[in-house]
Structure 1
């Protein structure tokens, strides 16, 4: 796997900052925000183009995974992005598309023969991971590369600002009292998924196993989650059922946790609906409080942090936390990292339109 956010470059930088609860938010200088209500985000100071950043991350994941040129050529690429960088707001004949970006990326890194593009907002990357797992578990592929990227740009920044979704106090405070919203952040990541049999034939050792995945929609509202968390609860239940583990076996939940009042409340309702009484016991935090909301790339960077945390035996801090919103009844990790009580963890995401995903991993 490979990862880069405003917390730094490389997986180790992500783990260190999320365990310390170090938030990376600062003034936006990449483009003009003088007319915006909020002017803060978590941006990589040395970020290249999205295409170059994706190529670097994907090539790193291939190299660290020990893939030969032949193995790369047989490895499909699933890419989660918002759109082709700098694409116009309206359709223009002949203008490159996100699919063109995916084909170009596969060619640069030597991947193929199949590429898919996911533009389903904040569940794009986690949906791609679930699809990769399905391709592998059904024998349609031995290994799949999942890549995702989002670099904070003017259009989405302006839209979230106009929608009054951005935090007005410069901090993201998931599940906390006095939370005022989310903040956007850069993230580029790549993860190589492979069947255990194929991995062991190559004499490689897995970092973690993706043992369960679930997806569900509630179509409650264009941009608001169902207040009872119906779709997310179904996704969590499906993932746990596939994994064959009860909710009480989870040692950690990396929450969607945007820090908006409505979203956090709906997510808490979903967790209680899916997990029952143990929802108040399982340690939970949202790493968006450190690296920001990376939209289409969120699910992948958060999956990476979840795997790293469980492997390290320490749980990330819910940065920006002031005091628990008692109505949510959650066991939030704050102030300092905690020890992991289980090798199983859950990462959940939600998106506009009522889309929800859940991934269950087991550290090895």
Structure 2
């Protein structure tokens, strides 16, 4: 398969504070009502911020991921034979506390991260290679880019990309202590008066296939991954380049791989976390790529509704972008207070808009200067 032949997305499943399944996710982001509520999963006494976007009842991360992978495979119509040849690329948080018992301390939390991908593959009947990604907030989007590259050059026919993060006390404490969480309890991407990010649950799985493999079994096409790009800033451990150099290069690479001009992009699901510095940097990156047209491309960050899911963010936002394109409506940027001169963009603030083209970008960035761009197209 030539690398420019578009990769097929044939099955998706997502769980977030907006609900379980693709329909709940689509309805939630189009409604634009933020899902942030007081945290009940663990004690937040003494914290500056006490809210996040969490589901009231969840299983262990291992169980939730198993269910998501199985449901995505079923949505794609994968039988036992097709599953047996599928690879599994997993994005999740590393370390000893990555799999908490969400409803309280202790309990059976399942395998630790180094063994988790193999554990999920066995439970779901996936017999291909496995990989694990723990590269912060670009983990899932990097996994998608790697899957696209390997499928594009003919090494693999089918990859299930899964990602999971359930809000837990360790990361919550780190972000709160670092004063990164929004003290006013709202995420306001690109807006004047934005105060920071808020965390959110996400467990997501996506089935990616070559066009040939999907056609051979008459698989549905939810969307295509037309292009992807990755680039580093090497500017600062925690801050992106103020002019958005790395993110701009990632977007340009995605456009080149897709064989599309910048003018073809009709929507950007931005990385924007609601933090003053990074949102302005992302706006600068879009200006570098699109020039004066950057102020006319509809932009929103759905983190304003479902929260920041860390390692799982890239996959959740990919699914959001795919679903909204397929539905023909673009989601709002919640929490908007007013324009900021450092972010001169066409932010969707009042109500969902019609999608002007079938092509959209979804962007992610992480500490350490990592940047990713995925360009997707409606079927």
* TM-score, scaled relative to structure 2: 0.93
**Separation in 2, partners of 1:76, 1:83:** 20
> Residue 191 of structure 1 aligns with which residue?
206
Q: How many residues align?
A: 358
In the TM superposition, what is the alpha-carbon distance from 1:55 to its structure 2 partner? 0.3
CA displacement, residues 234-281 of structure 1 (integer Å, 9 cap, x when unaligned): 000000111111221111100001000011011111111122121111
Q: Does the CA-based 8 Å contact 1:40-1:170 persist in structure 2?
A: yes
> Residue 138 of structure 1 aligns with which residue?
153
**Separation in 2, partners of 1:327, 1:160:** 24
Listed as ranges, the matches of 1:1-364 within 5 Å are 1-83=12-94, 86=97, 97-364=112-379
In the TM superposition, what is the alpha-carbon distance from 1:97 to its structure 2 partner? 3.9
CA displacement, residues 100-149 of structure 1 (integer Å, 9 cap, x when unaligned): 01111111111122100000000000000000101111101111000000
> Residue 9 of structure 2 aligns with which residue?
none
**Separation in 2, partners of 1:357, 1:18:** 22
CA displacement, residues 200-259 of structure 1 (integer Å, 9 cap, x when unaligned): 110122111101000000121111111111110100000011111122111110000100
Q: Does the CA-based 8 Å contact 1:187-1:301 persist in structure 2?
A: yes
SS of structure 2 residue aligned to 1:361: strand
Task: Say if 1:269 and 1:55 are closer, same or farther in 2 by CA, change over 3 A.
Answer: same
In the TM superposition, what is the alpha-carbon distance from 1:85 to its structure 2 partner? 6.3
Moved over 6 A (4+): none
**Separation in 2, partners of 1:87, 1:75:** 25
SS of structure 2 residue aligned to 1:46: coil
**Separation in 2, partners of 1:124, 1:287:** 18
Q: Does the CA-based 8 Å contact 2:97-2:170 persist in structure 1?
A: no
**Separation in 2, partners of 1:96, 1:7:** 27
**Separation in 1, partners of 2:377, 2:279:** 25
* TM-score, scaled relative to structure 1: 0.96
SS of structure 2 residue aligned to 1:277: helix
Q: Does the CA-based 8 Å contact 1:99-1:116 persist in structure 2?
A: no
Q: Does the CA-based 8 Å contact 1:50-1:85 persist in structure 2?
A: no
In the TM superposition, what is the alpha-carbon distance from 1:71 to its structure 2 partner? 1.1
Alpha-carbon RMSD across the aligned residues, in angstroms, is 1.3
SS of structure 1 residue aligned to 2:14: strand
SS of structure 1 residue aligned to 2:266: strand
**Separation in 1, partners of 2:301, 2:98:** 31
**Separation in 1, partners of 2:235, 2:98:** 30
Tell me, which stretches of 5 or more residues in structure 1 are unaligned? Answer: 89-94
SS of structure 2 residue aligned to 1:327: coil
Tell me, which stretches of 5 or more residues in structure 2 are unaligned? Answer: 1-11, 100-109
**Separation in 2, partners of 1:99, 1:140:** 24
**Separation in 2, partners of 1:159, 1:244:** 41
**Separation in 1, partners of 2:65, 2:252:** 32
**Separation in 2, partners of 1:63, 1:29:** 32
**Separation in 1, partners of 2:112, 2:328:** 41
In the TM superposition, what is the alpha-carbon distance from 1:96 to its structure 2 partner? 5.5
